[in-house]
Chains A and B, each alone.
Chain A
Amino acid sequence: GENVEQHPSTLSVQEGDSAVIKCTYSDSASNYFPWYKQELGKRPQLIIDIRSNVGEKKDQRIAVTLNKTAKHFSLHITETQPEDSAVYFCAAKAGTDKLIFGTGTRLQVFP
């Protein structure tokens, strides 16, 4: 079945710097790749997603890139702010509704 690996597990950046989180997936049939942000004690919230027919998508300070050949996709956050501190999860969809998640990245943005 699908397997999603996510790196790094923790990431610390200075406010204003950029942050990059990378994921790889195993199932070449996967066609949907969302990113979720989860604050402590809260539910995961979708922040951006990309489909397999698109190479890059941007929404203000966040962007996602997809390399289907290498089966890699990445989350880029520019001009980080303290409120960006959270755990970020990537996921890949295999099959009808099987969303397989990565193990998460704890991002800390220091003022």
Chain B
Amino acid sequence: NAGVTQTPKFQVLKTGQSMTLQCAQDMNHEYMSWYRQDPGMGLRLIHYSVGAGITDQGEVPNGYNVSRSTTEDFPLRLLSAAPSQTSVYFCASRKGGRETQYFGPGTRLLVL
């Protein structure tokens, strides 16, 4: 199993550009989440999904969209990037009925 994978590893965007951060897991996990990590602020939940076709907002959802068309994939979309979205983004997943959450390797995003 590859576990939780994320692409790209690093991305530079200009203000106003759009992009999609990819996240995939091959563990048949129902639950998937997106977090951003900023210095001194820990990890903050952006959006999460409890299964295909179901998504909900976390603590900091503004500026981000998600969809969950399959169990395996949970992409995060930035429609119009802003410098405030410069951060490290982590995707995570867990199996229903279990608490252990597995994180992907992260995507470092720089918005100029």
Contact = CB atoms under 8 A, between A and B. Distances in A.
Contact of A32 (B50, B99, B103, B106): B99
Interface residues of B, number: 23
Contact of B33 (A32, A34, A99): A99
A38 to B, nearest CB: 9
A18 B107 CA distance: 34
Given A43-B103, A44-B90, A46-B100, A103 B31 contact: no
Contact of B99 (A1, A93, A102): A93
B45 A100 contact: yes
Contacts of A98: 45, 48, 58-59
Contact of A99 (B41, B45, B56): B45
B40 A97 contact: no
Contact of B44 (A42, A93, A96, A101): A101
Interface residues of A, number: 24
B99 A49 contact: yes
A103 B33 contact: no
A7 B99 CA distance: 24
Contacts, number: 54
Given A43-B104, A46-B101, 5 more contacts: A43-B103, A96-B31, A99-B45, A99-B101, A102-B42
A42 to B, nearest CB: 8
A43 B44 contact: no
A89 interface: yes
A43 B42 contact: no
Nearest to A103: B42
Contacts of B41: 103
B24 to A, nearest CB: 15
A96 B32 CA distance: 11
